[in-house]
């Protein structure tokens, strides 16, 4: 068969295009180049950071396409959750709703840290999902329990998680999943915009403002205010984050300083100078006491309303 002279260049272009596409699919770094990869139908919210990381909102990704890419990779996702003292009572809802919505179809390894292993509820896990209970000491200060998470996650990554998982999410237990939280959330280093501050300007962010603290952020710096209830990413990237934050926390403690929002302040400082490769919108960290706003089309994960005086060891 002979091509007409006009037709030849198109065939050539098509062949080159197919080769480029194949090269793109096999070598493209999905983890780094989110914005190119995502299709955004949203114009009412910012969907990309100034350093070109995607900000994931409903309507910025195609769940079927994302699943088709990630599911064949047979990934294992570690999920750490602390349930110390009375917070053990939040575990059942957390786990049961995670089984319905969190990384469905992936291998998930839950690591439950508690001082009350006997009170960990038995929850039916679907195939490919496992739960380990790891005993940790209790404390009579909630600030200490919350802050010590960095150190415990770091040491558990060293002793166990780095051999057992590809990605990790570290989540607050006093929360429930309400809708899909899937592979669109995977990235090298993943943070979530705190629901209380996504519509605020930098001057209102509750960063640590005392220069004496290792979590200090000057008034004219800062991108977003990230929630401490979620840290995610490659296991090794989260390992570095927890190691740095834990060490900075210890330096502060040696100088008798506790950052304004404990490990959340250290997390925000870390992420200012180590930019996340993916940012999750507040859909991935809402709070039940907050009315849904028009930008938030889907609430995926939300903190339950709790009586602090009742569940915390101190007020
Ligand atoms: C905010 C953050 C939280 C943390 C804290 C600052 C959000 C939505 N939440 O939540 O992540 O940064 O401020 O310290 O960003 N825990 C126990 N037992 C306790 C106390 C805490 O297991 O007695 C664990 C538990 O997993 C809980 C987490 O620590 O979910 C955070 O504590 P919190 O929920 O009391 O902190 P909160 O609501 O002020």
Q: How confident is the model at residue 17 (pLDDT cuts 50, 70, 90)?
A: low
Give the whole-angstrom CA distance, residue 296 versus residue 291: 10
CA-proximal residue: ligand 1, atom 11 (nearest): 229
Which pLDDT score, from 0 to 100, does residue 146 have? 81
Query: How many Cα atoms within 13 Å fall on the side-chain side of residue 231?
Result: 26
Task: Kindly give the number of the ligand 1 atom that is closest to the alpha carbon of 82.
Answer: 26
Nearest to 240, CA basis, from 172, 164, 163, 150: 150
Burial of residue 123 (number of CB atoms within 10 Å: 0-12, 13-18, 19+): middle
Which pLDDT score, from 0 to 100, does residue 266 have? 98
Residues paired with residue 163 on neighbouring β-strands, in sequence order: none
Question: 11 by DSSP, 3-state: which?
Answer: helix
Question: Ligand 1, from 195, 224, 229: best to mutate by most atoms within 8 Å of Cβ?
Answer: 229
CA of 263 to the centre of ligand 1 (A): 10
Q: How confident is the model at residue 147 (pLDDT cuts 50, 70, 90)?
A: confident
Residues paired with residue 102 on neighbouring β-strands, in sequence order: 181
Give the whole-angstrom CA distance, residue 116 versus residue 138: 9
From the candidates 184, 208, 263, 264, give the one annotated as an active-site residue. Answer: 264
Per-residue pLDDT at 20 exceeds 70: no
Per-residue pLDDT at 39 exceeds 80: no
User: In the block, which residue shows the tokens 């979620």?
Assistant: 230
Per-residue pLDDT at 305 exceeds 70: yes
253-297, pLDDT tens digit by residue?
999 999 999 999 999 999 999 999 999 999 999 999 999 999 999
CA distances (Å), origin 132, targets 112, 117, 145, 285, 291: 6, 10, 19, 24, 35
Q: Is 264 a catalytic residue?
A: yes
Give the whole-angstrom CA distance, residue 84 versus residue 120: 11
Sign of the torsion angle spanned by Cα atoms 99, 170, 103, 132 = negative
Per-residue pLDDT at 19 exceeds 80: no
Q: Is 194 annotated as a binding residue?
A: yes
Pinpoint the alpha helices (H) of 1-138. Answer: 8-27, 34-37, 63-70, 91-101
Question: Ligand 1, from 141, 144, 146, 289: best to mutate by most atoms within 8 Å of Cβ?
Answer: 146
End-to-end CA distance of the chain: 83
Cβ(261) – ligand 1 distance below 6 Å: yes
Cβ(223) – ligand 1 distance below 6 Å: no
CA distances (Å), origin 119, targets 4, 115, 254: 77, 9, 35
Which pLDDT score, from 0 to 100, does residue 1 have? 42
Helices 142-156 and 235-254 cross at an angle (nearest 10°) of 140
86-143, pLDDT tens digit by residue?
999 999 999 999 999 999 999 999 999 999 999 999 999 999 999 999 999 999 898 8
Q: How confident is the model at residue 7 (pLDDT cuts 50, 70, 90)?
A: low
Phi then psi for 261, rounded to 5 degrees?
-125, 45
Which of the pair, 241 or 3, is modelled with greater confidence? 241
On whether the CB atoms of residues 98 and 230 are closer than 8 A, the answer is no
Q: What's the chain's Rg over C-alpha atoms?
A: 21
Q: For the chain, give the mean pLDDT.
A: 91
Which pLDDT score, from 0 to 100, does residue 315 have? 73
On whether the CB atoms of residues 206 and 262 are closer than 8 A, the answer is no
pTM of the model: 0.88
Q: Is 136 annotated as a binding residue?
A: no
Give the whole-angstrom CA distance, residue 56 versus residue 315: 35
Which pLDDT score, from 0 to 100, does residue 261 have? 96
For 219, other C-beta atoms within 10 Å of its C-beta total: 10
Q: How confident is the model at residue 6 (pLDDT cuts 50, 70, 90)?
A: low
Q: How confident is the model at residue 31 (pLDDT cuts 50, 70, 90)?
A: very low
Q: Which of 95-109, 223-237, 300-314 has the lowest mean pLDDT?
A: 300-314
């Amino acid at each position: 068969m002979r091509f007409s002279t006009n037709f030849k260049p198109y065939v050539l272009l098509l062949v080159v295009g197919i080769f480029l596409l194949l090269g793109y699919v096999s070598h493209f770094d999905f983890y780094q180049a989110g914005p190119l990869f995502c299709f955004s139908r949203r114009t009412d919210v910012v969907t990309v950071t100034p350093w070109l990381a995607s900000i994931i909102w409903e309507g910025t990704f195609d769940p079927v396409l994302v699943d088709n890419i990630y599911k064949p990779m047979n990934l294992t996702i570690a999920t750490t959750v602390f349930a110390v003292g009375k917070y053990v009572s939040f575990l059942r809802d957390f786990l049961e709703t995670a089984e319905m919505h969190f990384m469905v179809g992936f291998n998930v390894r839950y690591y439950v840290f508690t001082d009350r292993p006997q009170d960990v509820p038995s929850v039916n896990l679907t195939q490919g999902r496992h739960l380990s209970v790891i005993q940790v000491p209790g404390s009579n200060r909630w600030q200490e329990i919350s802050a010590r998470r960095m150190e415990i996650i770091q040491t558990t990554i060293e002793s166990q998680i780095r051999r057992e998982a590809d990605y990790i999410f570290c989540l607050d237990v006093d929360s429930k999943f309400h809708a899909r939280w899937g592979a669109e959330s995977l990235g090298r280093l993943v943070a979530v915009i705190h629901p209380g501050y996504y519509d605020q300007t930098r001057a209102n962010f509750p960063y640590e403002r005392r220069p004496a603290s290792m979590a200090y952020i000057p008034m004219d710096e800062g991108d977003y205010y990230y929630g401490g209830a979620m840290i995610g990413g490659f296991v090794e990237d989260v390992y570095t984050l927890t190691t740095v934050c834990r060490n900075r926390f210890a330096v502060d403690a040696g100088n008798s300083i506790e950052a304004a929002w404990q490990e959340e302040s250290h997390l925000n400082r870390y992420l200012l100078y180590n930019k996340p490769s993916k940012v999750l919108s507040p859909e991935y960290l809402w709070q039940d006491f907050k009315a849904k706003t028009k930008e938030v089309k889907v609430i995926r994960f939300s903190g339950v309303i709790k009586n602090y005086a009742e569940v915390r060891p101190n007020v």
